[in-house]
Structure 1
Amino acid sequence: MQLSETEAALLLYDWEGLWARDKQLLPEGIWDTWLILAGRGFGKTRTGAETVRVWKEDNPIIHLVGPTASDARDVMVEGESGILNISPPNDRPVYEPSKRRLTWSNGAKAIIFSADEPDRLRGPQCHKAWADELAAWRYDDAWDQLQFGLRLGDNPQCIVTTTPRPTLLVRELAKNPNTHITKGTTYENKANLAAKFFTTVISKYEGTRLGRQELNAEILEDIEGALWKMSLLDRNRVTSLPPFKRVVVAIDPAVTSNKDSDETGIIVAGLGYDNLAYVLDDLSGTYSPNVMAGTAIKAYNEHQADRVVAEVNNGGDMVEAILRNIDKSISYKSVHASRGKVTRAEPVVALYEQGRVKHYGNLAKLETQMTTWNAGEGEKSPDRVDALVWALTDLMLTNQQQKVFTI
């Protein structure tokens, strides 16, 4: 039987009847938060977007909160599985990016927020909310403010779609009796994922601790052999900063710059007048040399840094040349890894144990690498960790009277 265009379109958008797996349908019963802890590619974004489409029928105001403004826009709204692309043409909302708003024909509105700006969530009220990648939110206060605003209607609820990390917020939410938990793995959605995803990404992480988190959606507790524990990082987390004596931008450059390259670690840290170190930002990523340099110099200027520190073992001389090609005025210092990674990291770990290093908010990717690197098994240390060690070594462990040369 051949379907008409109208019938085919109806099937294409028949989420509940045809496409959704049971775990992706709104749970029955009484709950305040539906926490979906699932691996990459499970279908979390599609589940969140489809849930919003169900809710908008009876709930005039819905809040959408992503880790950053670009995440909320590019994933939750405009992404392949975002609200705009999964909505049928006759029920697609009007999108006003400048107003951070989606409006449906029945008058229901979805207001878009960034978890990087928790103060924007102070005051606005809603009936329902979708919080995406909660484990990657920089500031826990954003979650608190979202909850304060979730107070309209007879049954305020929130769906949380996230790859799990053992953050204090995620652990507490999972223990809350008013939370309905759904767990799922990457493998459950294999039929809808590209074969190349399984031959590249999956094969790279399958069987590793990071794979257990990112693919199997396990909330990993402290790992035996890891130099850092999440509980240690949680104890040293702050939401305010003192004036700084010094600020450095540390770079651990990747050897190559193609899409399969290791990341370039770029960490910003400062030494406060309280003589404590503060890790301010993690800007690491897979960059071309010029983009890496531009990212580091932008951080140098925005944080009013005193120095850029870069490892010379893997292209450090090249890093200085590219940096100075963009900005000759920067203060630059090269460092050489004459000792092993564990030997260099252990004094930095001791600083954390003494409470002398603080993390400003949550630094999700950096902290995942810190708590999943088991140096005892001879694993290669992640580049974010290497950059962190260089930054804190320069601030806390190196003779600060050392002369710095600039051009």
Structure 2
Amino acid sequence: MLGGRGAGKTRTGAEWVRALAETGAACRIALVGETYSDVREVMIDGESGLIAIAPDKLRPGYEASRRRLVWPNGASAQCFSAEDPEGLRGYQFDAAWSDELCKWRYADTAWSNLQLGLRLGERPRQVVTTTPRPTALIKRLMAANGTHLTRTSTWANEANLAETFLSEITAVYRDTPLGRQELYGELVEDTAGALWRWSMIEACHVDLAPDMDRLVIAIDPPASAGAEADECGIVVAGRCGEIAYVLEDLSARGLSPLDWARRAVAAFHRHGADRIVAEVNQGGDMVEAILRQVDPAVPVRAVRASRAKRVRAEPVAALYERGMVRHVGALAKLEDQLVSWTGEGASPDRLDALVWALTDLMLGARAPDPTIRTV
């Protein structure tokens, strides 16, 4: 099932699993989400999850130590995280529910391992519920002979959604190609005028990165703080030889200055980075001061944007075209921003952080400040 945000996809998947389990049509089911937390909090315990929709007498119980859900008739559903594709090995099922497949970081590997385990019963079957992105995997599944495709929009579930959610999401995505994806569940291919194309993104995915010669944390701080503030762009990237690797997208909305500084400094230490690169157009010396409040010794390079965002982004997009950038796993929100931004509309904070990181690593920035790295 393809659907927009808030379109009731979770309930659709849960109702399908519930019917199989309660009737005994499937006895061993796989529940696969982006993370273990997503499986538990959304697919099982969420308002539209498996426990919430079950009648009292048929309600399954969750066994936390075994990460599985068990129905009174003996049917069971095992939980898996797409971030741990190897965790699917060794199990076997007669049914599976995969939620938000297009957000899975290691989608191809996790999906392949899941298919190898669907081998029980006369008719193994599975359902996928996701907001679509034009990945090779989802396009392959949509074109498969055995696939039954349904599609629904955010507005189909309008009666169950808060007015503030609908007004906010409409304001963000109105009249944009990404809005067709996020609101109407459409599979949107390349956006006219965007610097990045889906073919470039698909070609750059790898599962693992080598040891880095250099590694930086790049920050694009928001101009304000609070729930209504823009996202703070935080991207982790490194360089090995002539290839750059984007390791993590830690961007988030609603962070206070101290929060985004802590997040960036924590990533600096976790990855053993060489320095933090921070845009200071909005905060000037205050940006560096906040970072040093968290860690006085952290190396910081302040950068100031003197050219338009699109002009700064063009050389970085060219690196992708030349095959000089890799993404370690799918970075869904960052990649959606890359392929949809045309130079107009909302500030692309994730994209900006990426541009600063790859400019520092690959486009002739000054030599790194002296640092000590722990081996």
Same fold, TM-score > 0.5, yes or no: yes
Instruction: Name the counterpart of 2:121.
Output: 153
Alignment of 1:147-296 (within 5 A): 147-272=115-240, 274-286=241-253, 287-296=255-264
Offset of 1:263 from its aligned partner? 0.4
Distance 1:317 1:168, change over 3 A: farther
Pick the aligned partner of 2:322 from 349, 354, 371.
354
Q: What do the CA deviations read for 1:233-283 (whole angstroms, capped 9, x no partner)?
A: 1112212222210111111011122212110001011101x3200011111
2:19 to 23, 33, 54: 54
- The residue that corresponds to 2:36 in the other structure is 69
Secondary structure of residue in 2 paired with 1:56? helix
Tell me if 1:88 matches 2:88: no
Q: Is the 8 A contact 1:332 1:404 kept in 2?
A: no
Match of residue 142 from structure 1: 110
Partner in structure 1 of residue 9 of structure 2: 44
User: TM-score scaled by structure 1?
Assistant: 0.87
In 2, Cα distance between equivalents of 1:305 and 1:183: 43
Tell me how far 1:402 sits from its aligned partner.
5.2
**1:390 to 2:356 alignment:** yes
Report the TM-score when normalising by structure 2.
0.94
Find the aligned partners of 1:306 and 1:43 in 2 and give their Cα distance: 44
Structure 1 runs (4+) deviating above 6 angstroms are: none
Q: Partners of 1:224 and 1:250 in 2: how far apart?
A: 28
3-state SS of 2:148 partner: strand
Q: Which stretch shows the higher mean deviation, 94-103 or 36-45? A: 94-103
Deviation readout 1:129-164 (Å, 9 max, x if unpaired): 110000000002011111111111111111100001
- SS for the counterpart of 1:269 is strand
Q: CA RMSD in A?
A: 1.6
The residue identity in structure 1 corresponding to 2:15 is E
Task: Output the amino acid matched with 2:357.
Answer: A
Pair 1:108 & 2:75 matched: yes
Give the residue type in structure 1 aligned to 2:78.
Answer: I
Identity over aligned pairs, percent? 53
Please give the alpha-carbon distance, in whole angstroms, between the structure 1 residues aligned to 2:370 and 2:177.
Answer: 40
Q: How many angstroms apart in 1 are the aligned matches of 2:275 and 2:53?
A: 47
Q: Provide the C-alpha distance between the structure 2 equivalents of 1:290 and 1:104, rounded to a whole number of angstroms.
A: 46
Aligned to 1:78: 45
Give the SS at the match of 1:106: coil
The question of 1:124 aligning with 2:87 is answered no
- CA distance, structure 2, for counterparts of residue 316 and residue 305 of structure 1: 23
Structure 1 pair 338–317 and aligned structure 2 pair: CA distance change class (3 A): same
Please say which of residues 47-56 and 235-244 is displaced more in the overlay. Answer: 235-244
Q: What is the distance in 2 between the residues matched to 1:318 and 1:109?
A: 54
My pick for the range that moved more, 352-361 or 204-213, is 204-213
**Residue matched to 1:344:** 312
Please state whether the residue corresponding to 1:255 is helix, strand or coil: coil
Inter-partner Cα distance in structure 2 for 1:269 and 1:98: 36
Higher deviation after alignment, 71-80 or 345-354: 71-80
The answer to whether the 8 Å contact 1:60/1:127 transfers is yes
Q: CA deviation at 1:85?
A: 1.5
User: Helix, strand or coil: the match of 1:241?
Assistant: coil
The 3-state SS of whatever aligns with 2:188 is coil
Question: In the alignment, which residue of structure 2 is the partner of 1:308?
Answer: 276
Shift of 1:224: 1.4
Letter in 2 for 1:120: G
Q: Is the 8 A contact 2:274 2:371 kept in 1?
A: no
